[in-house]
Structure formats: structure tokens, C-alpha cells
Amino acid sequence: MKPICILFIFSFMLMNCARQPALKYPDTAKVDHVDTCFGTAVPDPYRWLEDDRSEATAAWVEAENKVTFGYLERLPMREAIRECLTEIWNYPKQGVPSKYGSKYFFSKNDGLQNQSVLYVKDSLAGEPRVFIDPNTLSEDGTTRLGGISVSHDHRYVAYTLSSGGSDWREIRLKDIDGRDLPDVIQWVKFSSISWYGDGFYYSGYDAPKGSALSEQNQANKVYFHRLGTPQSADALVYSDPKNPLRYNLALTTDDERFLILSISAGTDGNTLAVRRLNAPNAAFTPITPARFDYEYNVVDNFGDAIYIHTNDNAPRYKLMRVTLRAGQPVWETVIPEGDDVLEWVSVAGGRLVAGYLHNACSQAFVFDRDGGSKTALSLPGIGSIGGLSSTKDGGEVFYSFSSYAVPSTIFRIADIHAPAPELYHETQLKITLSKYVTEQVWFTSKDSTRVPMFIVYKEGVPRNGKNPTLLYGYGGFNQSMTPGFSISNILFLESGGVYAVANLRGGGEFGSQWHKAGTRLQKQNVFDDFIAAAEYLIAEKYTSSEKLAIRGGSNGGLLVGACMTQRPELFKVALPAVGVMDMLRFHKFTVGWGWVDDYGSSEESEEQFRYLLGYSPLHNIRPGVRYPATLITTADHDDRVVPAHSFKFAATLQAAQAGSNPVLIRIETMSGHGSSSTQKAIEEYTDMWAFTFYNLGVKF
């Protein structure tokens, strides 16, 4: 590390020299609100905190932040951590290039810019120039650039902007030379931008009638926008008033032969219907069953054959192609299901690039369009492929690779027909990474299921049961936790910490069956896996309960909340971030209805209600229990997992806590389901590490 960080790490401070005074939490009012579900009374005394627009809620947020930041400001190592984290964070970060026509687009952050800048160059060796700099769009640096979509004739670029971390997006337009167009599309969320001729398809909502940040989002519609016209003139392409709680997504193929409609009722499973774009008024023809049993992900087309990545009767996924013959879909297998999970497929130069997961690590192979001529793509080690970029006709491919001790490295393949990866861009850090050990171990969960876990630590760290350890998990929505680089974690590892990531059921590491085993009435498996991971780390002398912290965000925040209420004695520190804490009401806010696929619903059946009530973090806090030192984090613009979850959890936990472990909630402003700027990210990680180090007794 650079001298500034060495100075901080080895300028040890005795932890007992700055004891925190006893905390006095805000007096949070209780209301006499009780819901009756299947004959069971469920009190909800902090229901009023769900109103994100009330003065009372704003006053409570201010009071809680005053207590939290008062505590954090007194931590002896906080400023040293901030200085060190800022120093090591300050390095250039570059994204994988994408080629459109002859131009290359890529993102880059010089180091501490709040937002990455989108650049364009006219050739691979050309001089980059700024195409969109979101840092110029707001004074506080929280306006973010989302994805871009370039028209098929390479004349126009559509892009999305978000404000303050919200999931709401605004679509704007430029021509390919960077000149702004007047078009503005509002109230867009989780949408594609799919070009056809001089316009594009997108998915949008009506403007909210109540709170834009908590009101349930209903009636998703597909529109077509023609360039140069106002949004009010956009043509309605598809809506389904009878089923307002669905996602409707429109996709066009690059040759503009097909318009494909994807409909889903949540996060797991969809249906597809197709319409030929040379007959725009024709009805959509369904090509999959009108159920949501499986996932069908459109890859691309070759002529009339549409290639689809699916788990239809293939839990580890396969690649199919479907062709309409006499109006009926005919399916053929291109790449059959194998022993490993077929995670994704991309098209490059008329060939297929397929990414697999083998024990939660990336592998990749190149096939011809019929699934033959399998060739392995060389990777530099155990890690994760990210951001693969290719074009259907061109043979050039870019992709990134990273691991726990390897920052994002970009490789280029000049011709996919003879794939020979060459280094295109290597990240240059301002620190020299020490030698790290990455192990993959397998532990046994409560029901005897074997579960893998990555464990990372600095070479020479002893197995003496005394190491500060952070256990991270997610376990949901078919998302896989694969090796990846975090500059923030380097701070912990360099301080002698052990970082562990458990590949819990509910994730996608081993396909649909692994995912389903951690959903609905089997969700407890996820928590049992995480608890077993913690017990393994203790039994194998990596750490002890007094040195163990747990962390997770979103569904991972639920994970932390459930585990700390089920086994409070097992952990010293709990860090639930933007968590789903009220399992009886999550579906009533924004797009929470889409999570019923994974969680079930308290309103669907008594069995589901009682199961959810049995683990819901909010409803399983018991007065007089000594819970871990807890730092709950959320943000005022989180409209995915609304902050009311964290508000009610914090108020309940503060009232119940026995002993001296602090229970704090840190509520960020102008931020959402994740930090909305580099500065806010550094501030949040500073406070997380300061809180964790202090309560684990780590010297810094």
C-alpha cells in the first residue's frame, strides 16, 4: 500500500481509550395499528413511518441520523479510514468498449469522479472524446447515466438518466455526433430501448398520483416513440389492464425483422410472443406457453430463426432456436443442457459465445451457430467474466475479467473465428496488492446440503480463531455470487481481515433447482446455509463469534435481518443494507409485487402467511435479547426496497435491544438502492468499516 495507508494502519489506537457514551435513541411514537391476517392479529405500531412524505417521518429521520452520525463521528479511526479509502479509491476505472458501426463507446472514471463519463472514438486507435458527462448535469453529482441504445443505422443514441439514485429513468436522445435532440421520455422504469426505423419501443408507467418513491407501480405499457415527436404522441403498442402487476418488455432484432414481446409477472419466468415488423398491425403470435414456469431470454436471430436461452425443462439452461412455420413455433436444441450452468449466450461474427458457471466461477466457449465446433476461451484464472461486448456480424469481441484480488482487466479478441484473447486494458491501482489467498471450501448446511464458500485473506493470516471476519451473502432471485474485485474490501484484508462469500441456495450458481430450493416455502434454507457458513468459519478457526460480522444488501439485507434475529449470539456485528424487512407488506410498494415469485405472499394463502411471519425480520425481534452491534443502512430515494422497511426494523430493534451493543440506522439523502455517487459510496463505506472495526476490536 502507499505510505499514507501504511501510516494509518500501523498507527494503532487502543480501542478502550475512547469508549462511546451510552446511546439515547429517539423516542419513536407508537400507534395502535393492528392488521388481522387469517385470524391472526399482527400489530404494526410504526406503520406511520411508511409515509415518506410526512413531516413526522422527516423529523424521525433527522433525529435518527443525529444519533447515528454523533456515534460515528466519535469513532477514533473514522477519519483515518476515510483518508485511506479515498486514497486507494482514486485510480482510473474503464469499462468494456462497445462497437457501433465504426465507432467505439466506453465509460471511464478518472478516479474520484462522482459519475463515470461516456466517451466515443472513431476507431480503436482513435482519440477519445466526451460523449456524455453526467457530472455536469447536477450540482451534487447524483445524476447518473444508465444504459445507451444506438439505432441500427448508427445515426442516433438513446440514453437514460436517473436522479438521486431512484429507479425512475428519463430517456434522452443525441445524434451520433453528440448533438442533443429535443426528445424526452419520462416515467420509465426497468425498460429496454429497442430501435425500429426512426423510433424505438420502450416500457413506461403513468405518472404517479401519490408518492413517486413508494407508490405501487401498476399498468406497465409498451409504447413506440418516433423521433422529433412529443411523448404525448407516442403510440400504445401493448397494455394489459386485466393484469396490472406485470412487466411488459419489447425487443427488436438487429435486422428489424421481429418485434418480440416478453411478459413476466415477477422476477422468475416469462412468456414470449412475436410479430414480424413488416406487418406492424398484425397480432402477436405466442411462441411459449402462456404461463410463467420458465425463463426465455432472447439472444438474437439468424434470419427467421430466433435463438433463446432458457431453463425450459433444463434447470442448468440450454440454447434453443424457434422458427415460425405456418404460424406455429418449431423448436430445436442448439446447445443442450450440460453439467454446468449455461449462464448467458452472445452472438459474435455469426458465432455463439457461451458463458458457463462451474462451481460459481466463469468459463466460456465458442460454438458455431448450430452448437458445434466447441472451443474453450482462455481465461487468466479463477474469476468472473463481465461485460462481454460483440456485434452480430463483426468478429471483434471485448470482455472483462476480475477476481477478489484482480481488478477489472479488459481483453480483446480480434477475430472470434480464431479466438486468441489479448490484453486490451489493465487497471493500474495506486497501491500494490499484497499476496492474497482465495480458497473455495464446502460446508454442510442444516439439511445436509453441501454449499460452497469463497474465503479470501492476506497470506500469513493465522487460523487461530481470532481474525476479524466479514461474511457476505445474498441467496435469492437466481443471482450468482461470483468472484469480483472491491477496492473497499482491500482495506479490510490489509488490516488482517478475512472476507467470506457463501454461495447460498436461492442463487443461480447451480441452476434453477438451486434457486428454487431457496424460495417461497423453502426460504429458510437460505438462512440455514448462511448460519452454517458462519459456524464453519468458527469451527475451522478462521474467526469466532466475537470477531464475526455479517453483511448483505436488498435480499441480502433480509438475509442479515433474518439470521441476526434467529441466531443473535452467533454474530458480533450485523450490517443489513436496504433490506426487505417486513415480509407481510413488501408487495404493497413500488415493484415489490414482482418479488412474490421468490418470497410468496402473505395474502395468497394462510400457509404462506404463517411461513413469512415465521422469519420476517421485523416480526421476529424479541424484547430483552442482546442483538449484535447493528448498523442499518438505507436511503431516501430507494424506490426499489423502500426505506420504510429499514425504518420500522430500526425502531423495533432499538426498543427491544438488551445490553450495550449499538443499534443505529444511517439514512443517506439523494441516494437510492446503492450509492448514487462516488463521494457517497466512500462516505458510506467509511462509516461501515469504522463501525465494524470498532465493534470487532480491529486496530487501524
Three-class SS state of 555 = helix
CA angle at 636 for the pair 65 and 67, rounded to the nearest 5°: 5
Q: How far is CA 205 from CA 55, 143, 364, 533, in A?
A: 28, 21, 38, 42
**Contact between 537 and 548 (Cβ < 8 Å):** yes
Cα–Cα distance between 103 and 90 in angstroms, integer?
29
DSSP annotation of 672 reads B
CB distance 465 to 541 below 8 Å: yes
566 three-class SS = helix
In the numeric block, the cell 451534487 is attached to 140
CB atoms within 10 A of CB 126: 12
Selecting among 163, 408, 445, 554, the annotated active-site residue is: 554
Helical ranges in 46-131 per DSSP H? 55-73, 78-89
| Farthest CA pair distance, the chain | 81
Three cell numbers, residue 162: 436517473
Q: What letter represents residue 186's amino acid?
A: Q
Tell me the three cell numbers of residue 423: 490484453
The count of other CB atoms within 10 Å of the CB of residue 286 is 14
Contact criterion met (CB below 8 Å) for 272 and 287? yes
SS3 state at 399: strand
Q: Is there a contact between 151 and 159 (Cβ–Cβ < 8 Å)?
A: no
- Are 665 and 634 within 8 A, CB to CB? yes
Q: Kindly report each contact of residues 128-135 with a partner whose C-beta sits within 8 Å and lies 24 or more positions away, as own/partner.
A: 129/178, 131/105, 131/157, 131/174, 131/178, 132/159, 132/174, 134/161
| Rg (alpha carbons) of the chain, rounded to whole number | 25
How many helices (DSSP H) and strands (DSSP E) are in the chain?
11, 39
Give 659's DSSP letter. S
SS3 333: strand
Length of the chain, in residues: 700
Distance CA 172, CA 153 (A): 18
To the query of whether residue 402 is one of the catalytic residues in this protein, the response is no
Given the residues 673, 675, 676, 677, the one annotated as active site: 673
Active site residue 152: no
Amino acid present at 270: N
Q: Cell 411478459: give the residue.
A: 263
E strand intervals along 214-358? 221-226, 235-238, 247-252, 258-264, 271-276, 285-286, 296-302, 305-310, 318-325, 328-335, 341-348, 351-358
Query: What CA–CA distance (Å, rounded) separates 601 from 584?
Result: 7
Q: How many CB atoms lie within 10 A of CB 479?
A: 17
Q: Is 341:317 a contact under the CB 8 Å cutoff?
A: yes
User: CA distances (Å), 371 to each of 341, 352, 379, in order?
Assistant: 16, 8, 21
Residues forming the active site = 554, 673
